[in-house]
Structure 1
Amino acid sequence: MTDFSFNPAPFLEFADDVALKRVRAIDRENFVKHDNPDFQISVHDNRQSLYEAFANDIVATILDALNEGRRPVLIVPAGPMPQYHAAARIINEQRISLKDVTFFAMDEWANELGESAPGSWEGSFQFALRSQFFARIDAELLPPDHQINFPTSATIADYGNRIADLGGADACFGGIGWNGHIAFWEPQLGQEFAGDLSAYRAASSRLVDLHPLTVAQNALTSFAGDWSNVPPRAVTIGPAEILGARRRSFWLDGDLGGGVTWQGFIARLVAHGPVNEFVPGSLLQTARSDLAVLEAIAAPLDILIN
């Protein structure tokens, strides 16, 4: 094949050519290997397997804390969503009381003025979590509403402290954005830290501007391709809350079928690239973390014009 050399687009913060070529070449066998034994990578054959395992992880985290005499604290994402359907079913079937469980949603949309999306808007993460998870759980098993927390423009400055005041989360669940973000902690935020990774790791909840790839990703996955309907900003937890959890559990389902996956490369960069402030998800390599992906994401990266 003929080689064709070029630099990545200028709006992409991470552009280490050596690292990019190295992770791009990682095959299926080596994708699941990592030098840190506390960073575990697993692969699922299909979506049902991945979502059921995700649901079981949520439930097991709750039960483990309760059995240890602790009040469980979970940081949860809005997306993917099928695992919540399964988790609600398990909770109902096993009659698991959530009265002592506290949930923190990891992020929420905001407009250009920094005003967070209301929970009544169908595109909000609060609407998604309430309708697709909490509304499916039998009322007598639900936690008090004040233990179901969503970040807002009014609460975001103190949101991280509220999690820390409870001793941090038992687990931070999430996914990886197309640009490598975790929650909505975006790559361009790394510019503020001038290579100080310690300060970066300690950064807490805040209002952020969304990266172009984040807008494109969410237009594709949640807004029927309508990038004009994706809000431009968000309120989000930061690295401090993610790394402050006892463990991290991240799930990647970005396979569109037909040989098209948007997470194959970023999964490799996050899991095997250098730990740095311009690939936020790379921080997972440094702490007790589980990364679960679909088979198509672990598969070798091939160029295929569809």
Structure 2
Amino acid sequence: MLRGTAAVSVQRLAPEDLGPAAADCVFEALAARPKPVIGVATGSSPSPLYQALAASPRDFGSATWFALDEYVGLPQGHPESYAEVLRREIIEPLGLDPRTVHLPNPHTGDHQAACARYEQQIAEAGGIDLQILGIGRNGHLAFNEPGGALDSCTRLETLTEDTRSANQRFFDSPEDVPTHCLTQGLGTILAARHLLLIAQGAGKAEALRAALKGPVSRDCPASVLQLHSRVTVLADAEAASLL
């Protein structure tokens, strides 16, 4: 066990243990309230968690689910839209009612109104009990890129070239990677009752060090984790190597 600040618990785990350990956090949240609210992330980091949940016989029907973000500019049904990723990774494997899984809507033509509506939906659900997170190589959290406000709400964000390069592997060419997204803000994320960050690989080591050991700064959006009262970080040995 590695120790971060008093509010942050960091566990260094074997890669095969990340999913089960993260699933235990989800099970705890599911048991804590009759109608729990879970925030879900996309990308490679939470994949072991979703696989562990899919292997469980538990019923997830009581929960409501909110995604961190969604690309702007992809047509509905695009295989790399996060709506489709969540359909493949959690809705179908966990047997969820699609109506219980929410994403910010990039197709309305009014991004500001869509973001305000998303904040309202989260509030109407009672707030997020457990927010699942990954971390970007540049320290972004959700799609909050360096330089943004640390208390932001859900909003339109311009993706950096570093983020677009990291996500290029999911698309046929660099030109196909979206340039914008709708993302929960850092303030939205901090409002969740429990934050669960999953980090894998040497490429995340510097970002994780900056997030947990560096100053709280716009230069590393994930450093806001230090401001939260309950954070669990699950990392493999490579990701935790600089802690």
Q: 1: distance between equivalents of 2:242 and 2:198? A: 19
Equivalent of 1:247 in 194, 219, 232: 194
Map 1:116-195 → 2, pairs under 5 A: 117-138=74-95, 142-143=96-97, 145-153=98-106, 154=108, 155-190=114-149
Aligned partner of residue 126 in structure 2, secondary structure: coil
Equivalent of 1:272 in 189, 206, 213: 213
CA contact (8 A) 2:13 2:235 kept: yes
Moved more, 203-212 or 147-156: 147-156
Once the two structures are superposed, what CA deviation does each residue of 1:137-180 show, in whole Å capped at 9, x if it has no partner?
Answer: 34xxx34x332101112322321222123231001111111111
Equivalent of 2:48 in 74, 78, 82: 82
Q: 2: distance between equivalents of 1:135 and 1:49? A: 23
Partner of 1:229: 176
CA contact (8 A) 1:56 1:87 kept: no
CA contact (8 A) 2:60 2:94 kept: no
- Post-superposition, which runs of at least 4 consecutive aligned residues in structure 1 deviate over 3 A? none
CA contact (8 A) 1:119 1:125 kept: no
Moved more, 227-236 or 150-159: 150-159
Q: 1: distance between equivalents of 2:205 and 2:239? A: 4
Aligned partner of residue 198 in structure 2, secondary structure: strand
The answer as to 2:169 corresponding to 1:205 is no
Would the alpha carbon gap of residues 300 and 187 (structure 1) be closer, same or farther in structure 2, given more than 3 Å must change?
A: closer
* Amino acid in structure 2 at the alignment position of 1:178: R
Q: 2: distance between equivalents of 1:147 and 1:44? A: 31
* TM-score, with structure 1 as normaliser: 0.71
Partner of 1:102: 64
Which protein is bigger by CA-based radius of gyration? Answer: 1
**Structure 1: 5+ residue stretches without partners:** 1-28, 112-116, 191-199, 256-260, 302-306
Equivalent of 2:32 in 64, 74, 79: 64
Aligned partner of residue 147 in structure 2, secondary structure: helix
- Displacement of 1:265 in angstroms is 0.6
Once the two structures are superposed, what CA deviation does each residue of 1:196-224 show, in whole Å capped at 9, x if it has no partner?
Answer: xxxx32x200111001111111124x347
Q: 1: distance between equivalents of 2:21 and 2:178? A: 31
Aligned partner of residue 55 in structure 1, secondary structure: helix
Partner of 1:73: 37
CA RMSD of aligned residues (A): 2.0
Would the alpha carbon gap of residues 108 and 242 (structure 1) be closer, same or farther in structure 2, given more than 3 Å must change?
A: same
Partner of 2:240: 298
Aligned partner of residue 262 in structure 1, secondary structure: helix
* Amino acid in structure 2 at the alignment position of 1:229: D
Q: 2: distance between equivalents of 1:97 and 1:55? A: 12
CA contact (8 A) 2:137 2:203 kept: yes
Q: 1: distance between equivalents of 2:13 and 2:174? A: 30
* TM-score, with structure 2 as normaliser: 0.88
Aligned partner of residue 239 in structure 2, secondary structure: helix
Partner of 2:222: 281
